[in-house]
Structure 1
Amino acid sequence: MTKKSDQQRQNIIAVSRELFTQKGYTETSTREINERAGIAEGLLYYYFPKGKRQLLDVIVHEGVADRVRIAKNMTAEWTRDSIEQDVIGLFENMWQLLGNGIGYQEFIITIRNRAMLSDEQSAWLITSFENVQQHVAERLFEVTPAEVSLEKATQLATAIMATFQKVIFDELLIRNRRKLPDGTSKFITGQIHLLMQLI
């Protein structure tokens, strides 16, 4: 694919992401995507032969892949001396990714259209979440092998991710807040502190 073709493809994805976030997937027509992207009718199908459905798949896939990549990169730097701050840092980075711009759009689109995902996509989404949890568990075990068994590290990672998930869903979906309130930051810090006492 040429640079111009790649730019056109990325433009279509960006426009679709914005429209799916604003109006919803089912309420967005391919005609609207074409008009907003400034492309001729039918060109969308050149880049995305399965049309709007393929665009949804690409947006969901990119969003989840970004979250897994960030978790993997961040956990690689964890040390025993800074483990509590490292875990809090992971949450802060995940919040930044999901609370702003493209990450927010991808998150909202994925949640709103969860029922439309195929069994294969649903399984991939679950596996991706489990991969983040596994990175956390493996790193907890690696930096605290004398104190924490792999089984205990896995249980801690499950509790950590459940805490992250609760706060992210409460704030972004239920309260529609894209800026984390001080009280919520304190809650996360307190929860992580309690969990780290188990090490």
Structure 2
Amino acid sequence: MKKSEQQRQNIIDVGRKLFAEKGYAGTSTRELNEQAGIAEGLLYYYFPKGKRQLLDIIVHEGVTDRLRMAHERLEGWTSENVENHVLDLFDGISSVIQEDVGYQSFIITVRERALLSDEQSAWLMASFDGVQEQIADVFLGISKDHDPAEVRTLSQTVMSIFVKMLFEDLLLHNHREISDESRKRVAAQIHLVLRLL
């Protein structure tokens, strides 16, 4: 990695840490420069639109990492052990979010959602819907006898279970990890939902 790429990544890492700790509004450009060890104004060299562009990149990279992992975990599902596949997907999403970078990106995305542009919000929704559609496609391939609309509803239900538990543990309870108890509740709910498949 070139020195300029390292410097850019350093600024992203510092911005992610500060935005997660203090929020976007609570983090000054001066503080970003100081924490990154760069001269004033250099932030604008790497991010011409300043702090806002930095926020956009942090959100985009965080969501992209979670999506990449989800798509990888959705590969090769079979009708055997579908419940294990679904739980593996939940575990994968959880593990990405529980790592420092993933957790910080998740918190920033949720906390600063009002700052997202319409384009970013649409991209986030389309990304989320894409994972949900991929789950529905896998379910349809496994169970060809079911009505596609019902199968899509099942995939929405699976995603709703995931989202509820992640938000409950990470945001409402302010935990850094998904508890064993929560994972057991997810497993029980997934088991119940997949009985309809």
TM range (shorter): over 0.9
Residues 166 and 178, structure 2, Cα contact 8 Å, conserved in 1: no
Q: 2:146 is paired with a residue of what secondary structure?
A: coil
CA deviation profile, 1:155-193 (whole Å, cap 9, x unmatched): 111000000010000000000112222221111010000
The alignment status of 1:37 with 2:39, answered yes or no, reads no
Q: 2:17 is paired with a residue of what secondary structure?
A: helix
The alignment status of 1:187 with 2:185, answered yes or no, reads yes
Match for 1:73: what amino acid? E
2: CA distance between counterparts of 1:6 and 1:153?
Answer: 45
1: CA distance between counterparts of 2:31 and 2:6?
Answer: 19
Shift in CA distance, 148/71, structure 1 to aligned 2, threshold 3 Å: farther
How far did 1:51 drift?
0.3
Structure 2 equivalent of residue 79 of structure 1: 78
How far did 1:93 drift?
0.8
Structure 2 equivalent of residue 50 of structure 1: 49
Q: TM-score, normalised by structure 1?
A: 0.95
The alignment status of 1:196 with 2:185, answered yes or no, reads no
The alignment status of 1:19 with 2:18, answered yes or no, reads yes
Structure 2 equivalent of residue 175 of structure 1: 173
Q: Percent identity?
A: 51
Structure 2 equivalent of residue 60 of structure 1: 59
Residues 68 and 131, structure 1, Cα contact 8 Å, conserved in 2: no
Structure 2 equivalent of residue 119 of structure 1: 118
Residues 167 and 184, structure 1, Cα contact 8 Å, conserved in 2: yes
1: CA distance between counterparts of 2:47 and 2:190?
Answer: 43
Unaligned runs of 5+ in 1: none
Residues 134 and 154, structure 1, Cα contact 8 Å, conserved in 2: yes
1: CA distance between counterparts of 2:2 and 2:21?
Answer: 29
Q: 1:135 is paired with a residue of what secondary structure?
A: helix
Q: 2:24 is paired with a residue of what secondary structure?
A: coil
Match for 1:190: what amino acid? A
2: CA distance between counterparts of 1:78 and 1:150?
Answer: 18
Equivalent residues in 2 for 1:101-116 (5 A)?
Answer: 101-116=100-115
Match for 1:88: what amino acid? L
Q: Over aligned residue pairs, what C-alpha RMSD do you find?
A: 1.2
1: CA distance between counterparts of 2:98 and 2:147?
Answer: 34
CA deviation profile, 1:110-148 (whole Å, cap 9, x unmatched): 111011111111111111111111111111112332x33
Residues 71 and 135, structure 1, Cα contact 8 Å, conserved in 2: no
How far did 1:20 drift?
0.3
Aligned match of 1:157 in 140, 155, 158?
Answer: 155
Match for 1:196: what amino acid? L
